[in-house]
Amino acid sequence: MAKMNLLQAINNALDTAMAADDSMICLGEDVGKFGGVFRATSHLQEKYGKARCFNTPLTEQGIAGFAIGMAAQGSTAVAEIQFADYIFPAFDQIVNEAAKFRYRSGNEFNVGSLVFRTPYGGGIAGGLYHSQSPEAYFCHTPGLKVLMPSNPYQAKGLLLSAIRDPNPVLFFEPKRLYRASEGDVPEEDYEIPIGKAEVVRNGSDITLLGWGAQMTEMHKAADKAAEEGISCEVIDLRSLLPWDVETVANSVSKTGRLVIAHEATHTGGFGGEIAATIQQECFLSLESPIARVAGLDTPFPLAHEKEYLPDYLKVYEALVASLNY
């Protein structure tokens, strides 16, 4: 085991994958010698050469199109979109091309060896163009997989799984945890199964569900609740598409209550899909309505970032309200 922060774990995963696969390339804005805006690709060009880790023009549509083309021709393409907010010019390429490649060919050809990495979310005072959480847009699209790690161990294992998965994957990285989250990470190669949630804390009174940076808030809320004698079961979803219905449903069947937290806006957020599914699966076990704690239905505000983001106090208030229903 080595101590790594989340950024170092991502860099280590890319290094591990490139060493094992000569066809793998990393591309994106400033990912070469500079190592990317957050330095996630540091030293990869130095180690593997400019042909395998290279800068692109400032065009997200072009980055996505080039990566799709490389994957279609047999390369393993890992493209970095500098901020998740910048992914929208590439939306057509990802949703209309990458997601449908296998289906429209009847599995004769595909772009399975394709990953889009991108930092998402608030917490760094980035304002409205550097703080968004667009995961729900892509969870609406059959043919894609969507992953969101919450710690360094997950970041390496999930990224290696994403790179080797035979489907195009969007890998959203919680940038406010890049250097804030540190943990033990195996130096050897390992993978974490896609589509499997992790029960990170067992409890009996209420289920708290989140992903990415929200897991920090979930743990704080559960700690505060424990001081009041409330036992919280905490689940890290990790994989949004596909998502682990069985693990969440089993937990809610036991506790009878569910609070979901995510940074994306409340309306249309992925929490709504989870709530609808769990209501269907666990209707007779529910003791109170499923609660969602989410970002506000406004553009992301720079001056009021703290008020916008769901935090542990908002999660705590929601779980108390659920228990007192």
Catalogue the active-site residues.
60, 130
Instruction: Dump strand ranges (E) for the chain.
Output: 2-5, 24-28, 53-55, 76-80, 114-120, 145-147, 169-174, 182-185, 198-201, 206-210, 232-236, 239-241, 258-265, 291-295
Environment class of 88 (CB within 10 Å of its CB; exposed 0-12, middle 13-18, buried 19+)? middle
Find how far residue 99's CA is from the centre of its chain. 18
3-state secondary structure of 176: helix
HSE of 8, CA atoms in CB hemisphere, 13 A: 13
Cα 70 from Cα 76, distance rounded (Å): 7
Find how far residue 56's CA is from the centre of its chain. 24
Q: What is the DSSP letter of 12?
A: H
In terms of Cα–Cα distance, which of 272, 252, 248, 271 is closest to 261?
A: 271
3-state secondary structure of 273: helix
Region class of 143: left (phi > 0), else alpha (psi between -120 and 50), else beta: left
3-state secondary structure of 81: coil
- Please enumerate in sequence order all residues whose Cβ is within 8 A of that of 281, keeping only pairs 6 or more positions apart, or say none: 245, 249, 252
Task: Round the CA-based radius of gyration of the chain to a whole number and report it.
Answer: 19
3-state secondary structure of 130: coil
| Cβ atoms within 10 Å, residue 253 | 15
Residues written for the chain: 325
